[in-house]
Structure 1
């Protein structure tokens, strides 16, 4: 959670704030976008994301999302978006039946313009971003899958599926494209010192990892190119 705040505030240099889970008065005049972080909300009791989906703030998030506000859910945030009905599908235990924390490779399977969070990417581009989950296996029924493929809602696919997700799905959006959920953590791959490149070459003290493009895309969508990292 604090990782996303750090990226937005200290790397992207935009205003960011934490929102109390009981707030219901959110409005698009004050917020340009909402990011729902990972982090095992309510200890994943019952199932991942289901209790958090009933938090008062999620009623406001759903309203703003349906009005077109960009909403990004990362890991547990993705699960919350699914449980709240903003995104299709369901999550199950990983095929390994264990918590999986490792770097993985994502491929963009839509045009970059499909979502505000992929605007600076091109179809087919690959990103190295880590996953950290125990219920990260994404599933939808075959009819829903076909509909999602027709609507170009399958945004990211794994090239090295870490959890058994159906058809290697790692990220999906709503039909309108303003709501994106992804299981990997882009905020953990924004600074070069957090990436495998640094582990192999510790002289790389400055620079950015692949995850930064998710946040750069959002900023470009909201404010234009401007002066950002």
Structure 2
């Protein structure tokens, strides 16, 4: 039986359907979850998608982090359920204290969109096991509040415990400290990142040229990693 992976829709979510499609392409069953519910419908894993939840009022992800469904998501994450936060979903994970630090306005104060080179730093999480440490991948990036910040003690812990999942390569697009593009929790079941793997799951979307956005399949391995991780537990 295919694993069931829930995708939470908040008011202002933009990429929930894209995440559902990525899940299907990884041979799993997507399950739509609603922000106002307290029911995870028995899913095996959860994706918090990109967008502008609740219009990014207060801070991006701040209101979503206290929505009804997040009570269940936090409990599931703490029990070991794989949870992936993409862009706004990463912001929600930070605001819900499932991942440390914070995300602030890009250093240049502008919204950015680009195909972003990333270096894989941790390939032992539920969402990264189909990668190799040190591998360079390309994942689309689009955000206005993607600057990762943390105090010195937190940064030392992230570095020392191998909790940085991805770093920006070539250019730091938003001023993130230590070029951090994505994080994992210590258990390895919760991962958050600013780039959008659900937009790089099938070929043929956008020309592969140096002048324009590159299409590719690097993002699909986030979702196949989760499927393999869940299968290993059966």
Normalized against structure 1, the TM-score is what? 0.88
Does the aligned pair in 1 maintain the 2:114–2:142 contact within 8 Å? Answer: yes
Residues 17-96 of structure 1: pairs in structure 2 closer than 5 A: 17-26=31-40, 30-96=42-108
Deviation at 1:95, TM superposition (A): 1.0
Show structure 1 runs of 4+ deviating over 6 A.
198-201
Question: Is 1:15 the counterpart of 2:51 in the alignment?
Answer: no
Deviation at 1:223, TM superposition (A): 2.0
The structure with the largest strand share of the pair is 2
Question: Is 1:171 the counterpart of 2:171 in the alignment?
Answer: no
Question: Is 1:181 the counterpart of 2:196 in the alignment?
Answer: no
Deviation at 1:150, TM superposition (A): 1.5
> What residue number does 1:204 align with?
none
Aligned Cα root-mean-square deviation (Å): 1.8
Closer, same or farther in 2 for the Cα pair 1:169/1:195, shift >3 Å? farther
Contiguous gaps of at least 5 residues in structure 2: 1-15
> What residue number does 1:223 align with?
231
Number of equivalent positions? 214
Deviation at 1:3, TM superposition (A): 0.4
- Equivalent in 140, 149, 155 of residue 145 of structure 1: 155
Contiguous gaps of at least 5 residues in structure 1: 202-206, 225-229
- Write the deviation string for residues 37-60 of structure 1: whole angstroms up to 9, x where unpaired: 001001101110001001000010
- Equivalent in 176, 189, 204 of residue 193 of structure 1: 204
Deviation at 1:15, TM superposition (A): 1.2
The structure with the largest helix share of the pair is 1
